[in-house]
Structure 1
Amino acid sequence: MIALLALTLTVSAATPVLTLDEALQAAREHNLDIQAARARLQQAQLLSNRAWAAYLPTVAVGAAYTRNSAEAAFSLPGTTTSIVIQPYNQLAGQAELRQALIAPSLWPAIRNAGIAEDVAELSTESVRRDILFVVAQAYFAAASFQEAIRAAEYLLEVNKARESDTQKRFDAGTVTRVALLRAQLDRARAEQDLVRARNAYASAKLALSTLIQRPPEFSLELPPVPEVPSNDVDLVKQALEQRPDVAAARRNLDLAVGRRQGVWFSYAPSVGFSGVYRISNATGFTGKNDSWALGLSAQWVLWDGGLREINLREESARVAEATAQSKLAESRATEEVSRSRLDYENARANLAKAEEALGLARETQRLTEISFKAGVATYLEVADANSSLTSSEVNAISERLQTSLAALRLLRSAGLFEAKQ
């Protein structure tokens, strides 16, 4: 672990420290992409209700008023009662009930709606994990830039001290003006490196604040490299079982099969029930103001111009496509796990070498500084040692960042990053 705390300026107490867990929690609650995905999920969760609505009874009521130009009435033979068939002001009301009794085409549609909801939920979970993965990447990057600032500040102090010491030696006539100019140049470069590091940190922090929808008034703490499962853990198996994109591809295959079944069910006949109640101020020939009727209806489409055959071939092609997509998702997951494992092992090896090189560079710089003060080492040797230390500091921070990102990618490829328990 790169320890520079003793060499840095104290962070202002007015600036709160944002931890990685807090950043992820803020993204879960406030990230706009996650909110949009949740809204789409809520829309998709209505698919089952919409499918069932076609099988539930339909009730409709209506009323009408008609002003007729003439009134029509008649009397039955042997009676004096007048029956009004058409009054001047005619009022009518109707209530109707319809219910599908046997609707084979709706049966797979209801099942398919449930599968579609599962696909939408898995897709939303995949989006959630992807966004939180991006947030974690942004956090590690910004925290690494913050560490780079601390390293740049330390190296600037070293170069300022070197410039001051060289100035004194030049005034005493023990070093040449070239040595003084070199010290001033090294100090100017260190100042430029610090400005670049601060700008990079501000940019990375702004990107992070946008992801979590929080003002960038915070500092960060560099987390340890994420822990990953050991080599003996079958990460490929876990990826195939826990990755939501793989599960969504499988459910999409189930959905394609279900839609093809729906086409087959459309060949079956359907049976429905209907009931109607009417009331009017015109009694009609029955002599009653109200009437009702019940009925059963059956429909069997024997030929629809070949549309069902076309739909069947289309859905069969979609089943083949979904089968290929499911196998492709599993193949990609397997490849991503294997590649991420290799990248992680390579990053760990690079980090170990970078930390070893940093330790050697620090010791070399310390000994060279002592030798220079003793008049044994030349200024060029000191400048080379400082340059090597600067390069080693930056490289160690970069390799630590790459190792952390490689660990995150491995966890994500195995379906372990931000998995719901």
Structure 2
Amino acid sequence: MRRPLACALLAMVFVEHVSYAQPRVPGRAEAPPPPPVQPQNPLAAQTTELPPPPEVSDPMLTPVPRAALEIGTWEDALKHIRARSTDLHIAIQEVARAEGQSRVALAGVLPTINGTGTYTHNIITNTTAQFSGFGANGVPTTRPVNTPYPNYFTGAIVAVQPFIALRAWNAIGTANVAIDAARQSVEETKRQIALGVANAIVAVVTSERIAELNRIGLRNALQRLDLTSRKQALGGATGIDVVRARQDVEDARATLVAGDETLRQNRENLGLALGIPDQIGVPPTVDINGLERDARSICKPVETVDERPDVATLLTRVRIARRNVNDVWFQFSPSVNLQSQVATTTVDTGAAPNSTWNVQAVLTVPIWDGGARYGNLRDTRAQELQAYERAEAQRRQALIDIDRARRGVGVADDRRRVASAARDLAAENDRLTRVSYQEGRGTSLELVTTAQALRSAEIQLALREFETVNARILAVLALAKCPW
């Protein structure tokens, strides 16, 4: 066996020697030298193009049906809110109640007129002689009458005009302040409704995007399963590779089902925010970045935190509590009423006229009521302190909310940039892993892991993008009032 091997080596050396020792022939073109061998680029795999993915079909790839009713502008949302929002209607009725109480307070300083009428029938009577006048020659005459009168009617009209009524005057001012508080509460309700509707719209758009990404993820998982199955048929993959691909498909299905339900719930939440007990969608053409511009158009910024409707409402309630303390103090003061009464009766006494009319000035001086006023004074003073503490607590919370909202814009934008970079890295990692797997250098575990990481990164980026929009809207509404 050594002799054929040695002969082969000698032949190779001879041929190589002849090729190098062959003289140049004049007039003959030299053969071009062989091209140099290029060193292998370790990053060549990064530029490898993937073949087109196979076509796959699955019933779950069908998107969720669009909602029957969709809103695309703030004007559409405000139209439904004005007509159907229960929170707004409750707040408006609170203003009506405050106006009604103001009219009640005004009645305390206006005259009151009451009329009474009484018909009396006496069952037991006695007959007596009643003087009826003088007869001929100046002789007194009498007539028999029943005492008491068996049947008679009396009527009276009484008018009372408060003249000095400190409590009533204070009540009028308190009622007017209560109207201001109710109107400020309406503005706060509108601000909260605007914030809630904006959040609901952003949530629906976010859920729509995530549902779309979930279907893309399921499609990619189905394509990987198809490729793995084909590779197994050719002997390039094992059964565990196919099982891992199928697990990835089922994980993508579970994520898709949860995302679709979240989309439906967010549509229902938008419907509730608009006062409609149904799913309300957002058209795909809506400009989500325009929500901030629309929020600025319907809600105007205020200069100080004390002008924000919720803080202003509680500060107004402090004024009401202080006036309630004054109301108790006025209970110690006297009051003067002017009264007038017109009365008539069918009883003819012969001495007094049947009809009378009088005018009275009534002075009322409170002396002792068992200590109820002192108890009310302690109660109202405590209520005033409570109202002040509530206003101060809300003011501090509002300051923190404003700072967080303004800071949240930058934080949300930073998180969006980080999520975008993470998504790009996850996409490149997934592409390289697929290339390696198709070339037989990667494992199915790496393929499934990078695919799941890419789906998660896509969802996180979508959440961060819409979170940035939401943060900008919150920054606009954090220090504003909405007079729409």
Aligned residues: 407
Task: Check the 8 A contact 2:164/2:336 in 1, yes or no.
Answer: yes
- Distance of 1:72 and 1:373 partners within structure 2: 132
User: Please, what TM-score do these two structures have when normalized by structure 1?
Assistant: 0.83
Relative distance call for 1:224 and 1:367 in structure 2 (3 A) is farther
Relative distance call for 1:135 and 1:365 in structure 2 (3 A) is same
Q: Where in structure 2 are the equivalents of 1:204-283 lying within 5 Å?
A: 204-221=266-283, 224=288, 227=292, 238=303, 240-283=305-348
- For 1:346-400, what per-residue CA distance to the aligned partner results, in whole angstroms no more than 9, with x for missing partners? 2221012112322343354455545655667655554344222201111112223
The yes-or-no answer on 1:414 pairing with 2:479 is yes
Task: Check the 8 A contact 1:272/1:296 in 2, yes or no.
Answer: yes
Correspondence for 1:170: 232
TM superposition shift of 1:111: 0.5
RMSD between superposed Cα atoms in Å: 3.3
- Distance of 1:29 and 1:349 partners within structure 2: 40
Correspondence for 1:75: 131
TM superposition shift of 1:168: 2.2
The yes-or-no answer on 1:325 pairing with 2:390 is yes
1:182 counterpart SS class: helix
- Distance of 2:143 and 2:328 partners within structure 1: 57
Relative distance call for 1:19 and 1:269 in structure 2 (3 A) is same
1:45 counterpart SS class: helix
The yes-or-no answer on 1:158 pairing with 2:220 is yes
Task: Check the 8 A contact 2:207/2:259 in 1, yes or no.
Answer: yes
2:166 counterpart SS class: coil
- Distance of 1:89 and 1:340 partners within structure 2: 81
The yes-or-no answer on 1:396 pairing with 2:461 is yes
1:224 counterpart SS class: coil
Relative distance call for 1:18 and 1:363 in structure 2 (3 A) is farther
Task: Check the 8 A contact 2:301/2:480 in 1, yes or no.
Answer: no
- Distance of 2:129 and 2:338 partners within structure 1: 35
Relative distance call for 1:134 and 1:281 in structure 2 (3 A) is same
- The structure whose Rg is larger is 2
- For 1:272-296, what per-residue CA distance to the aligned partner results, in whole angstroms no more than 9, with x for missing partners? 1111112222122446332211111
Q: Which segments of 5 or more consecutive residues in structure 1 lack a partner in the other structure? A: 1-7, 229-234
- Distance of 1:347 and 1:220 partners within structure 2: 23
More displaced stretch, 345-354 vs 313-322:
313-322
More displaced stretch, 121-130 vs 161-170:
121-130
Task: Check the 8 A contact 1:20/1:139 in 2, yes or no.
Answer: no
Relative distance call for 1:397 and 1:239 in structure 2 (3 A) is farther
Relative distance call for 1:216 and 1:308 in structure 2 (3 A) is closer
TM superposition shift of 1:248: 1.3
Task: Check the 8 A contact 1:83/1:285 in 2, yes or no.
Answer: no
- Distance of 1:33 and 1:387 partners within structure 2: 43
Q: Where in structure 2 are the equivalents of 1:43-122 lying within 5 Å?
A: 43-68=97-122, 69-70=124-125, 74-78=130-134, 87-122=149-184
Q: Which segments of 5 or more consecutive residues in structure 2 lack a partner in the other structure? A: 1-60, 136-140, 294-299
- Distance of 1:408 and 1:277 partners within structure 2: 68
Relative distance call for 1:13 and 1:397 in structure 2 (3 A) is closer
Task: Check the 8 A contact 2:264/2:279 in 1, yes or no.
Answer: no
Correspondence for 2:89: 35
Correspondence for 2:38: none
- Distance of 1:301 and 1:58 partners within structure 2: 22
Relative distance call for 1:195 and 1:89 in structure 2 (3 A) is same
More displaced stretch, 169-178 vs 146-155:
169-178
Correspondence for 1:297: 362
Correspondence for 1:19: 72
TM superposition shift of 1:218: 4.2
1:268 counterpart SS class: coil
Task: Check the 8 A contact 1:239/1:333 in 2, yes or no.
Answer: no
The yes-or-no answer on 1:387 pairing with 2:452 is yes
Correspondence for 2:416: 351
- Distance of 2:66 and 2:175 partners within structure 1: 54
- Distance of 1:57 and 1:102 partners within structure 2: 12
Relative distance call for 1:189 and 1:326 in structure 2 (3 A) is closer
Which amino acid is 2:70 matched to? V
Task: Check the 8 A contact 1:236/1:337 in 2, yes or no.
Answer: no
TM superposition shift of 1:247: 0.6
Correspondence for 2:7: none
TM superposition shift of 1:12: 5.8
Which amino acid is 2:165 matched to? A
Relative distance call for 1:319 and 1:380 in structure 2 (3 A) is closer
TM superposition shift of 1:403: 3.0
- For 1:280-319, what per-residue CA distance to the aligned partner results, in whole angstroms no more than 9, with x for missing partners? 2212244633221111111222454554444444434433
- Distance of 1:273 and 1:405 partners within structure 2: 64
1:36 counterpart SS class: helix
Relative distance call for 1:191 and 1:309 in structure 2 (3 A) is closer
Instruction: Pick one of 357, 362, 387 that aligns with 2:427.
Output: 362
- For 1:224-272, what per-residue CA distance to the aligned partner results, in whole angstroms no more than 9, with x for missing partners? 35549xxxxxx99735143212111211221122222223333332111
- Distance of 2:191 and 2:234 partners within structure 1: 64
- Distance of 2:100 and 2:268 partners within structure 1: 38
Correspondence for 2:265: 203
- Distance of 1:215 and 1:321 partners within structure 2: 38
TM superposition shift of 1:57: 1.3
